[in-house]
């Protein structure tokens, strides 16, 4: 962190001084027209120079932790390194400066990339029907559920109204189901951390729309009975939705389509290295089995018919799938995110793809091995995949130190804390995902810090209660923020 980071940075409005401007614009080179009667009287935006703008946002940037500083071990978030060539690609005018409604003969390079990405994602997932349109994982989920809904309705099966969701699922799964008009039925996790098959057998019936399954699940465990679980749902006439949030654990090692998943979304900002951007934009393409492809949102990219191709030089074109559920957003998806994912997959190719999952899983198991004697690992009797969960309950009971205190203290060691208090099924949970882009040395340093914090919890719990000590701000009053919301600058 920089030397300026602990100073409170004024709001850009507070830096404003009448008469300043941050960019010069050209004079009007055409005859002017009388301005409209409904022109606004005033506009209260800041007035600052270019220098003010650059310094303000640069100083603010230094109050952020980021992947390029070090490990960012948020479980289920896959904060891997974002390759720099991806960022160079998206700045090029042939990608950044093309209009979505241009005639397709002027955008063949963009369409070729999208077609290739569709094909590669279909191959990696084992599910050949692909739409690139969804803007994020949650929108991919909505897309997937609407595709499943359309499939059931096309078969004139309107009685299916419930979606089965394991209790360890991300909150987006139940929220998506109710947004789609379905009731959510929760399924318990068994003692080994798998979906409870007996309960699934009881609940899967002719009212079941689908099972939403995250695999590996949010405990970081591969569902040992995933094929059986999919079979139970299929036997009941339902489909299986795969939440691909944790695809990084198995990419190149196993394909969801091969073990029974019918519909899968993939968060390109997780597995395929699209940067998270402080919370977005992401991209959440959806892959489906052949028989579901006609229902996908469009437009999607297809190879142009040969006769058209001869006539107009078009090799690729947009097309709407025959029974499409419609659009889920305007245009074709978060195009620049797609560019990054395309470049990333090409950088690995068939030779290296599997190394992503293999190293992500080695790193997670290694970190678990380093920490299991100090922290309590409720599923430590199994090998984890890309992530694992620990519980801070012993620290809470013995020293009055809760998981939030541990997380805040981690910041003082110069790291971002893991995901905390999720999944909800593990009390005082810490959920850790190192990803394949951490070196052994960096994992050792991180493990050493966590072990030292555990010692501090024993010897000096107050140090943890008061943490962070070295961050740009100390703990913030969230109760005040919620009771008296201040959501904007008041002039």
Partner 1 sequence: MPHPYIPNTDADRAAMLNAIGVQSADELFADISADVRDPKINLPRALSELELSREIARLTLQNANLVENACFLGAGAYNHFIPATVPHLIFRTEFYTAYTPYQPEISQGTLQTIFEYQSMICDLTGMELANASHYDGATAAAEGAILAINHTHRDKVIVCPTLHPEYRATLRTYLVGQDVEIVGDEDPSATFDQVLDKHLDDKTACVIVANPDFLGQVRDLKAAADRIHAQGALFIVSAYPISLGLYQPPAEYGADVVVGEGQSLGNPIAFGGPYLGIFATKMEFVRRTAGRLIGQTTDTKGRRGFVLTLTTREQHIRREKATSNICTNQALNALAACVYLSTLGKTGLRQVAELCYHKAHYAAKKINRLPGYRVDLKKEFFNEFVVECPHPVAEINATLREKKIIGGYDLAKEYPHLGNAMLIAVTEMNTKEQIDALVDALAQVKSKKGKRA
Partner 2 sequence: MSDKKIVYATDRKYAESHEWAKPEGDLVVIGISDYAQDQLGDVVFVELPSVGATVSAGKTFGVVESVKAASDVYAPISGAVAEINESLKEHPETVNKDAFNAGWFIKVRPSNAGEMEKLFDAATYQGKIEAGEIH
> Where on the chain is the footprint of partner 2 (CB under 8 A)?
421, 478-479, 482-483
Q: Residues 4, 64, 157, 448: which binds partner 1 (CB under 8 A)?
A: 64
Residue 480 lies near partner 1 (rule: CB under 8 A): yes
Size of the site for partner 1 (CB under 8 A): 198
| Interface pattern 300-339 for partner 1 (x via CB under 8 A) | -------------------------xxxxxxxxxxxxx--
Nearer to partner 1, 95 or 458 (CB): 95
Q: Residues 75, 129, 137, 244: which binds partner 1 (CB under 8 A)?
A: 137
CA angle 426, 427, 432 (to 5 degrees): 60
Cβ atoms of residues 321 and 298 within 8 Å = yes
Residue 128 lies near partner 1 (rule: CB under 8 A): no
Q: Residues 265, 276, 314, 409: which binds partner 1 (CB under 8 A)?
A: 276
The H or E element containing residue 129 is: strand 129-131
Whole-angstrom distance, CA of residue 166 vs CA of residue 423: 11
Nearer to partner 1, 251 or 454 (CB): 251
Please name the residues in contact with 353: beta carbons below 8 A apart, sequence gap of 6 or more: 124, 251, 252, 345
Q: Using CB under 8 A, which residues numbered 217 to 256 contact partner 1?
A: 221-222, 224, 226-227, 250, 252-255
SS3 state of residue 179:
helix
- Is the preceding omega at residue 281 within 30 degrees of 0, hence cis? yes
Whole-angstrom distance, CA of residue 209 vs CA of residue 485: 40
CA distances from 339 to 128, 240, 335 (A): 20, 29, 6
Q: Which part of the chain contacts partner 1 (CB under 8 A), choosing from 81-89, 198-206, 233-241, 301-309?
A: 81-89
Which of 379, 93, 92, 458 is CA-nearest to residue 218? 379
Residue 154 lies near partner 1 (rule: CB under 8 A): no
Smallest distance, partner 2 to C-beta of residue 78, A: 24
Q: Which residue has the tokens 């640069």?
A: 58
What would the two tokens of residue 79 be?
Answer: 């904060």
Whole-angstrom distance, CA of residue 158 vs CA of residue 372: 49
Question: φ, ψ for residue 66 (rounded to 5)?
Answer: -155, 165
First-to-last CA distance in the chain?
A: 32
| Interface pattern 450-469 for partner 1 (x via CB under 8 A) | ----------------x-x-
Smallest distance, partner 2 to C-beta of residue 478, A: 5
Smallest distance, partner 1 to C-beta of residue 398, A: 25
Nearer to partner 1, 90 or 302 (CB): 90
Residue 156 lies near partner 1 (rule: CB under 8 A): no
Nearer to partner 2, 189 or 208 (CB): 189
Residue 81 lies near partner 1 (rule: CB under 8 A): yes
Q: Using CB under 8 A, which residues numbered 194 to 213 contact partner 1?
A: none
Q: Which part of the chain contacts partner 1 (CB under 8 A), choosing from 103-111, 195-203, 232-240, 288-296?
A: 103-111
Whole-angstrom distance, CA of residue 122 vs CA of residue 384: 26
What would the two tokens of residue 338 be?
Answer: 């797609």
Residue 272 lies near partner 1 (rule: CB under 8 A): no
DSSP string covering 302-329: EEPPHHHHHHH--SEEEE--TT----SS
Q: Using CB under 8 A, which residues numbered 32 to 61 contact partner 1?
A: 32-33, 35-36, 38-40, 42-48, 50, 53-54, 56-58, 60-61
């Amino acid at each position: 962190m920089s030397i300026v980071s602990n100073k409170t940075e004024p709001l850009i409005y507070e830096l404003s001084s009448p008469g300043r401007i941050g960019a010069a614009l050209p004079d009007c080179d055409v005859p002017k027209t009388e301005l409209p009667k409904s022109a606004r009287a005033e506009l209260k935006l800041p007035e600052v120079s270019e220098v003010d703008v650059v310094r303000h946002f640069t100083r603010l940037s230094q109050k952020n932790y980021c992947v390029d500083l070090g490990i960012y071990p948020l479980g289920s978030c896959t904060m891997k390194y974002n390759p720099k060539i991806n960022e160079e690609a998206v700045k090029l005018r042939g990608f950044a400066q093309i209009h979505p409604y241009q005639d397709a003969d002027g955008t063949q390079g963009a369409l070729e990339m999208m077609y290739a990405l569709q094909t590669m994602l279909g191959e990696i997932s084992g599910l050949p029907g692909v739409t690139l349109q969804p803007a994020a994982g949650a929108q991919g989920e909505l897309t997937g559920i609407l595709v499943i809904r359309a499939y059931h309705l096309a078969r004139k099966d309107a009685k299916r109204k419930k979606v089965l969701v394991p209790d360890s699922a991300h909150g987006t799964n139940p929220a998506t189901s109710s947004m789609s008009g379905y009731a959510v039925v929760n399924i318990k996790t068994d003692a080994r951390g798998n979906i409870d098959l007996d309960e699934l057998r009881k609940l899967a019936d002719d009212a079941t729309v689908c099972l939403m399954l995250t695999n590996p699940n949010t405990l970081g465990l591969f569902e040992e009975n995933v094929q059986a679980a999919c079979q139970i749902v299929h036997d009941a006439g339902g489909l299986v939705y795969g939440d691909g949030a944790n695809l990084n654990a198995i990419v190149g090692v196993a394909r969801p389509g091969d073990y029974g998943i019918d519909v899968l979304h993939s968060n390109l900002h997780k597995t395929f290295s699209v940067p998270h951007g402080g919370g977005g934009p992401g991209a959440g393409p959806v892959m489906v089995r052949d028989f579901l492809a006609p229902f996908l949102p469009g437009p999607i990219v297809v190879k142009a018919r040969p006769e058209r191709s001869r006539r107009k030089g078009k090799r690729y074109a947009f097309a709407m799938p025959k029974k499409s559920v419609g659009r889920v957003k305007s245009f074709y998806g978060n195009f620049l995110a797609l560019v990054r994912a395309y470049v990333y997959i090409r950088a690995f190719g068939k030779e290296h793809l599997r190394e992503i999952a293999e190293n992500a899983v080695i790193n997670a198991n290694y970190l678990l091995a380093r920490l299991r004697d100090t922290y309590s690992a409720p599923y430590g009797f199994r090998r984890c995949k890309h992530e694992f969960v620990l519980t801070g309950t012993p620290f809470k009971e013995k020293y009055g130190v809760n998981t939030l205190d541990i997380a805040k203290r981690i910041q003082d060691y110069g790291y971002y804390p893991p995901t905390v208090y999720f999944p909800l099924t593990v009390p005082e949970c810490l959920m850790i995902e190192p990803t394949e882009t951490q070196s052994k040395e960096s994992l050792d340093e991180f493990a050493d810090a966590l072990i030292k914090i555990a010692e501090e919890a024993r010897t000096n719990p107050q140090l943890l209660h008061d943490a962070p000590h070295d961050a740009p701000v100390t703990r913030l009053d969230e109760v005040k923020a919620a009771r008296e919301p201040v959501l904007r600058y008041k002039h």
